[in-house]
Each structure stands twice: as structure tokens, then as C-alpha cells.
């Protein structure tokens, strides 16, 4: 399985401007969120990147400067949901598996490994779809798609997916998404990187043709798990959604603390906390 194309979704109502938000990357250079996400794909060996955007943003993305790779801007002409956004990239992808990354998540590797490359390698060796997952506390699972499954024998972080549920409640998760081996109150949730097969477009097309106004991705991934091999890998990375409160701040800190400026950033944080403590103490006295 040779995978050369990636699809990044950036058309959601709460997502449209986030890819243009500027952050200082691990190398100390200021870049857009989109460039940081795309760089992960390019380092993993991807040649072509398709970005699905709102129609009103096409010119904005076309005029954005990108240092590497070949870019295709794909409009999502109707606001019919996340699954529909991916479906819009079907002609760009063709009848081939592809890497998918969401445009509002920054993924930071703990051990320096490229998570996208790790997933592409697993998908190629097993000839199947693969989703990246992260153990997530039950009070946070309402923000993510979640999966259940069994750990693949002989591995510590690979699972065979048997069910996918979009943004479950804690009660739903407890009833149907328990994964043996995870800590109590934790579930496997997506962290924004997938390797998907052409079968997904067949499943999505049924929903599109049915006239459904909103087409989510998780329901089709749940069907995918029933008809072909579908794995999850718990990569040694952390996801940082930038579309939530303080998301940009957390992503920026995570990037800074994983780069050569780590000591400087830690010193700045400690100095800020000390200044606030002194100011607070002074007011009390």
C-alpha cells in the first residue's frame, strides 16, 4: 500500500480561520497551524495535499504561501458536515488510500517520532485503514470520536476496532466502549490523524445520495469496521485541539516545550508565576 496523498479538512464553521492562526513551531519559526499540520504529512512522505475549505475561503487558501508539496484547494459547496467534507475530496484522492488530518488539531510527538509516518507504516504493512487514538478521560470524550476494540496480540498499542461512536456521553462509553487494559474512566478517542481506504467513499456516498443534511464521519467509520480490517494505534503523541478554550495557548506551550527553546519557555512561565505571586502577596500585606 503506497500512500501519497493527504486530505486536511478546514471547512467547519468553527474551523475556517484556525488553520491561519500563527504559532511558533518547535524549530522557533512562526508558522500557521495549517503549515505545521501539513509539515507532519510531508515529513511522512506525502507528495500531494488537498485542503477542504468553505467556498468563501478558496481564494484565501490559494493565496497562502506554502513552502513544500503540491497543494489542491477543494471547496465544500454545501455545509453538510465532517463526513461530507471528506467526501468532497474523492476526486482528488481517486481509488487509493489516503492520509487524513483535521485542520484544528496540533499533534506533538512525545518521543520525537512522526505520528503520521508511524500510522502510514502500519497501514501499509497491514493493508488496512488505521486511526490514531489517545487514552482520554471520560470528562473529555464528548469532544471526540471514540472506539472500542481488542488489543492485537503481541502489541502494546495496536487495537482492532469493532465500534466507533461520535462524541459519546460517559454513560454511552461505559456501556459500549470499554477497552481491556485501559485505566478506569479512560477511553480510546481519535486524535485527528487517520489513514483511510477508498471503501470509506462508498459508505459516505450512500449518505450523500440519501439526502441527509448532516453527514458525520464516525457513522461511516463504524460501518467500515464491520466490513473490513480497521486498526487503531495509540501513538506516543498528544493532541491539542485549537478550537477549544485556551486551545491555541496549550498548543503553543506544547510546541515550545518540545523544541530547543524549552528551558527559556519554562523560565518565562516560572517568572510569570513568581511575579503574580509577589503581586498578590503585596496586595494582601
| DSSP track, 150-186 | EEPTT-SSEEEEEEEEES--HHHHHHH---TTSPTTE
Tell me what pLDDT residue 283 has.
61
Taken in order 213, 219, 224, 226, the sign of the CA dihedral is negative
Question: Is 159 in contact with 149 (CB distance < 8 Å)?
Answer: yes
| Interatomic CA distance for residues 93 and 261, integer angstroms | 38
Question: Is 107 in contact with 190 (CB distance < 8 Å)?
Answer: no
Here the contacts of 220-224 (C-beta below 8 Å, separation 24 or greater) are 220/83, 221/131, 221/145, 221/161, 221/164, 222/163, 222/164, 222/165, 224/129, 224/197, 224/199, 224/200
What backbone torsions phi and psi does residue 62 show, to the nearest 5 degrees? Answer: -65, -30
Q: Which residues contact 158 (CB under 8 A, 6 or more apart)?
A: 122, 151, 152, 231, 232, 233, 234
Tell me what pLDDT residue 284 has.
56
Burial state string for 178-187 with b = 16 or more CB within 10 A and e = fewer than 16? ebeeeeeebb
Tell me what pLDDT residue 80 has.
94
Q: Which three cell numbers stand for residue 264?
A: 527559556
Q: What is the pLDDT of residues 225-254, one digit of tens each?
A: 999 999 999 988 888 989 888 999 999 999
Q: Which three cell numbers stand for residue 228?
A: 473490513
Domain of 161: which CATH number? 3.90.550.10
| Interatomic CA distance for residues 173 and 177, integer angstroms | 5
Residue 37 is part of which domain span? 5-284
End-to-end Cα spacing for the chain:
68
**Rg, C-alpha atoms of the chain:** 20
Q: Which residues pair with 206 in a beta bridge?
A: none
Total domains in the fold of the chain:
1
pLDDT in tens, the chain (285 residues): 689 999 999 988 777 888 888 999 999 999 999 999 999 999 999 999 999 999 999 988 877 655 555 889 999 999 999 999 999 999 999 999 999 999 999 999 887 778 999 999 999 999 999 999 999 999 999 989 999 999 999 998 999 999 999 999 999 999 999 998 899 899 999 988 999 999 999 999 999 999 999 999 999 999 999 999 999 999 888 889 898 889 999 999 999 998 888 898 899 889 888 888 788 776 654
Tell me what pLDDT residue 69 has.
59
Tell me what pLDDT residue 280 has.
74
Return the percentage of the chain with pLDDT > 70, whole number. 96
| Interatomic CA distance for residues 133 and 118, integer angstroms | 12
Q: Which three cell numbers stand for residue 238?
A: 498528544
Q: What is the pLDDT of residues 16-69, one digit of tens each?
A: 888 888 999 999 999 999 999 999 999 999 999 999 999 999 988 877 655 555
Question: Is 48 in contact with 4 (CB distance < 8 Å)?
Answer: yes
Tell me what pLDDT residue 135 has.
93
| Interatomic CA distance for residues 211 and 225, integer angstroms | 23
Amino acid at each position: 500500500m503506497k500512500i501519497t496523498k493527504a486530505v486536511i479538512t478546514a471547512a467547519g464553521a468553527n474551523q475556517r480561520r484556525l488553520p491561519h492562526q500563527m504559532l511558533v513551531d518547535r524549530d522557533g519559526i512562526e508558522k500557521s497551524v495549517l503549515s505545521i499540520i501539513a509539515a507532519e504529512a510531508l515529513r511522512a512522505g506525502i507528495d500531494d495535499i488537498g485542503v477542504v475549505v468553505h467556498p468563501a475561503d478558496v481564494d484565501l487558501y490559494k493565496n497562502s504561501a506554502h513552502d513544500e508539496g503540491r497543494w489542491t484547494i477543494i471547496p465544500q459547496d454545501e455545509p453538510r458536515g465532517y463526513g461530507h467534507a471528506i467526501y468532497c475530496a474523492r476526486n482528488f484522492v481517486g481509488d487509493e488510500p489516503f492520509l487524513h488530518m483535521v485542520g484544528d488539531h496540533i499533534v506533538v510527538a512525545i518521543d520525537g517520532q512522526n505520528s503520521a509516518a508511524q500510522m502510514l507504516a502500519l497501514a501499509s504493512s497491514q493493508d488496512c485503514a488505521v486511526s490514531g487514538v489517545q487514552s482520554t478521560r471520560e470528562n473529555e470524550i464528548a469532544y471526540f470520536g471514540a472506539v472500542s476494540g481488542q488489543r492485537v496480540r503481541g502489541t502494546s498499542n495496536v487495537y482492532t476496532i469493532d465500534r466507533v461512536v461520535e462524541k459519546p456521553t460517559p454513560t454511552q462509553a461505559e456501556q459500549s466502549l470499554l477497552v481491556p487494559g485501559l485505566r478506569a474512566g479512560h477511553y480510546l478517542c481519535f486524535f485527528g490523524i487517520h489513514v483511510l481506504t477508498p471503501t470509506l467513499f462508498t459508505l459516505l456516498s450512500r449518505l450523500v445520495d440519501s439526502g441527509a443534511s448532516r453527514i458525520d464521519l464516525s457513522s461511516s467509520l463504524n460501518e467500515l469496521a464491520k466490513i473490513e480490517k480497521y486498526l487503531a494505534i495509540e501513538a506516543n503523541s498528544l493532541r491539542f485541539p485549537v478550537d477549544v478554550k485556551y486551545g491555541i495557548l496549550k498548543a503553543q506551550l506544547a510546541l515550545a516545550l518540545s523544541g530547543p527553546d524549552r528551558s527559556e519557555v519554562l523560565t518565562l512561565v516560572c517568572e510569570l508565576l513568581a511575579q503574580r505571586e509577589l503581586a498578590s502577596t503585596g496586595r494582601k500585606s
